[in-house]
Amino acid sequence: MTFIKRTLPVLLAVAAVFLVAGGLTLERSQAPSSPANATDPAGEACTVIMVGKDASTDGSVMSTHAADCGVCDFTWRHVPAADHKPGEMRRLYNIDQIRTWPPSQGGKWAAVLKDPTAVEIPQPARTYAYHHSIFGYINDQQLAIGESTIGNVRKIGNQTPTPATNISQLTLLAMERCRTAREAIRLMGSLAEKYGYGYHDGGEMLAVSDPQEIWVFEIMPVGPLWTPASGKPGAVWAAQRVPDDHVAVCTNESIIGRLDLGKPDEFMASANVESYAVEAGLYDPKSGQPFSWKKAYSPTEGSAASTGGRRSRTWRFYDLVAPSRHFKPETPNMDFPFSVKPDRKLSAADVMALTRDKSEGSIFDPVLGLRGGPFKNPNYYKGTRLISVSNVEYTTLTQCRSWLPAPVGGLVWVALGAQDTSCYIPLYAGATDVPASFKVGDHFELDRRSARWAFDYVDFHVQPAYNAAIEDVKAARKTWEEGAFAKVAEADTRAAELYKRSPREAVKYVTGFTLANAQSVVDAWWKLGDDLWVKYNHLALYDAEKRRSGRIPTANPDWWNRAVRAFDVLSEPEVRK
């Protein structure tokens, strides 16, 4: 009791410092609720943003994907178009999203070829060219995809090797065989039904888009006892179209609710979409409640507020794009609409900014109080989940643009590494290669040939003096990212003109642009890393022109020093002990 009396004033002082430093609220300390599905909010951060053509400033259809694994393969590959002879077959492979192999063993995609399934499917007469990393992202027909794991109720999971399809394989098959979003959804759904879905994957969501529309495709396994011999579908799936003037978001949570299959322009689903839920005991038609896809197969508990920010990304996105709707953090995530009309149309730059959002200024701000330390680093505090996360492999933004020829109209912008310290680099869908520096690299071996390591190099040198060094990154992005918008506009015009005379010359041109621009950005980021190292060495500010060093203006703010002194007093008994 004596200790409590002696330290109570100090506790109050520390609390006061917290409030002065940013206004901590008690609700942050609440533990997140346990999710009803298999998705752990602490381990997922694949945020997929979707923008319909009439919700974008230029009429493009856009989607994003953040590959958030932290140890996954981040290399990129280009698969060329190919002609196939009658009777030619294509093997399906087991592909684990997460697992990687050392470069000395050939890396991930060499290892994949050593793990075939027993299934072969007929090749079409021609397969399309596409770019892929963990998933297929865009092909030369302007079919684009973004992914988010959504989980499923445990009883329907199938972790046996019996299913021959998985989410990575399905995206690659869609890329090589389909031109439109609807074609891709029907193909992926039918293959999963016929050959089974699961093994390494559970509930998954794909944003599937083309120059005209964007759809949400969600797929689930159908339990560990399924076999092809059962004669039953080996997967259950549903799809819903995002209205052209709407935006939507998936934050590792199912977002498809009630289905109206009488409207084929808005909904698609497997034949067993409701019957399997009944069979598995996930839905009772006699309940009087309408069937809801997400409530049956992948329910989510809690809200942004009730989980202390662990499930705050859905609320944060809608609060940013549609503030007039006044969505509250207390709104259960299951109650958010499938999509909304944004208060204003979004540009590609707006979407990039959304992927970098760290809930600044909100009640879930990661630099409130002492959270961000003396340099206000938003990457220290892990108590909430943000749209922008530091463990991301890369982030993609695909654009499908109907007014341009397909090889020119399709773009996938790639930001390697953490979004806040990276730079989006445009890759044309029609390019016949990806940059050489995108093809190499591994988390566990520094490789100066690797583009990803250039961005990690910058990120590493930003973290110690974050609020100062991030301004240098923003200045570099202004040059290379904002500058890319102007360069792409010029390249679009030139390539479209060439395409009228010779599609081959247009493809050659966009390939040259893609490779040269990427190399310039990567070179600039290596130099930026060097410059940051010199400028903020020893947590000081080194001025090369004046050849002197000094204090970083943002270093050791007075509020932080007061908080440290207060904590020292509070912990004094423990130190003595």
190-200 pLDDT, tens per residue? 999 999 999 99
Between 276 and 5, the more confident residue is: 276
Cα-based angle 80, 436, 446 (whole degrees, multiple of 5): 135
The pLDDT assigned to 29 comes to 27
As a whole number, mean pLDDT of residues 228-238 equals: 97
The pLDDT assigned to 27 comes to 28
The pLDDT assigned to 3 comes to 36
- Is residue 215's pLDDT more than 60? yes
The pLDDT assigned to 477 comes to 97
The pLDDT assigned to 34 comes to 31
Residues in Cβ contact with 531 at an 8 Å cutoff, skipping those fewer than 6 apart: 472
The pLDDT assigned to 374 comes to 92
Burial 488-520 (b: 16+ CB within 10 A, else e): beebbeebeebbeeebeebbbbbbebbbebbee
Q: What is the overall mean pLDDT for the chain? A: 91
* Segment 98-102 long-range contacts (CB within 8 Å, at least 24 positions apart): 98/69, 98/71, 98/72, 98/200, 100/71, 100/72, 100/73, 100/442, 100/443, 102/442, 102/444, 102/445
Residues in Cβ contact with 151 at an 8 Å cutoff, skipping those fewer than 6 apart: 35, 37, 38, 39, 202, 203, 252, 298
Q: How confident is the model at residue 554 (pLDDT cuts 50, 70, 90)?
A: confident
- Is residue 476's pLDDT more than 60? yes
Q: How confident is the model at residue 355 (pLDDT cuts 50, 70, 90)?
A: very high
The pLDDT assigned to 8 comes to 40
| Residue 459, φ and ψ in degrees, nearest 5 | -55, -45
The pLDDT assigned to 13 comes to 44
* Separation of alpha carbons 572 and 71, rounded Å: 40
As a whole number, mean pLDDT of residues 182-208 equals: 98
Q: How confident is the model at residue 14 (pLDDT cuts 50, 70, 90)?
A: very low
For 384-431, the pLDDT digits (tens) are 999 999 999 999 999 999 999 999 999 999 999 999 999 999 999 999
As a whole number, mean pLDDT of residues 213-233 equals: 97
If we measure between CA atoms, which residue out of 102, 176, 105, 191 comes closest to residue 135? 176
As a whole number, mean pLDDT of residues 46-58 equals: 97
* Separation of alpha carbons 300 and 297, rounded Å: 10
- Counting beta carbons within 10 angstroms of the beta carbon of residue 155, is it exposed (0 to 12), middle (13 to 18) or buried (19 or more)? exposed
Q: How confident is the model at residue 556 (pLDDT cuts 50, 70, 90)?
A: confident
Contact criterion met (CB below 8 Å) for 131 and 78: yes
The pLDDT assigned to 10 comes to 42
The pLDDT assigned to 577 comes to 54
As a whole number, mean pLDDT of residues 251-258 equals: 97
As a whole number, mean pLDDT of residues 33-49 equals: 58
If we measure between CA atoms, which residue out of 470, 482, 476 comes closest to residue 413? 482
